[in-house]
């Protein structure tokens, strides 16, 4: 079992609440306040989980500057008050930032009994295989 420090436990809680507020804000027709709270909690939770220095190193790598600018620009646009445009920018930046993890995620999901059989259906398999390909390092 993985042992977590107290700050990592707090970070997991903050990240979880951040994802909840982001999801709830989208369900309630892109509520600006909920999306802003969710963004702040998500980024703060990520910083608590992996540490402040590693967070900065992850976001500000030379090959991830475009992705980071889209993600953090989306957060800023949501905070300014344009939630739909901000969420679109955030989602694009999120996929650019974490695309190196997608092959690992697809491989893990394919090992889950029910979800793996769904991902191996002919019309879904082509899209999942395309999403699972990655030419970039994490």
- State the Cα–Cα distance between residues 129 and 41, nearest whole angstrom: 32
Q: Which sign, positive or negative, has the C-alpha torsion 49, 52, 53, 59? A: positive
Question: pTM score > 0.85 for this model?
Answer: no
Tokens of 11: 């970070």
Query: Half-sphere exposure of residue 1, counting CA atoms within 13 Å on the CB side?
Result: 2
Q: Supply the pLDDT for residue 134.
A: 60
Counts for the chain of helices (H) and strands (E), in that order: 8, 0
pLDDT beneath 70, residues of the chain: 134-138
**CA of 127: how far to CAs of 50, 101, 107, 132, in Å?**
31, 16, 14, 8
Query: 41-77: per-residue pLDDT in tens?
Result: 999 999 999 999 999 999 999 999 999 999 999 999 9
Contact 48, 17 (CB under 8 A): no
């Amino acid at each position: 079992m993985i042992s977590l420090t107290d700050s990592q436990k707090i970070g997991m809680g903050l990240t979880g609440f951040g994802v909840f507020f982001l999801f709830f804000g989208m369900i309630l027709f892109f509520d600006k306040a909920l999306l802003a709270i969710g963004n702040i909690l998500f980024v703060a939770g990520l910083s608590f989980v992996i540490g402040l220095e590693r967070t900065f190193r992850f976001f500000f790598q030379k090959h991830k500057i475009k992705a980071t600018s889209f993600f953090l620009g989306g957060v800023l646009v949501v905070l300014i008050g344009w939630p739909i445009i901000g969420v679109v920018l955030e989602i694009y930046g999120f996929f650019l930032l974490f695309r190196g993890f997608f092959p690992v995620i697809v491989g893990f999901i394919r090992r889950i009994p029910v979800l793996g059989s769904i991902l191996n259906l002919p019309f879904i398999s082509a899209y999942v295989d395309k999403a699972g390909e990655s030419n970039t390092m994490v």
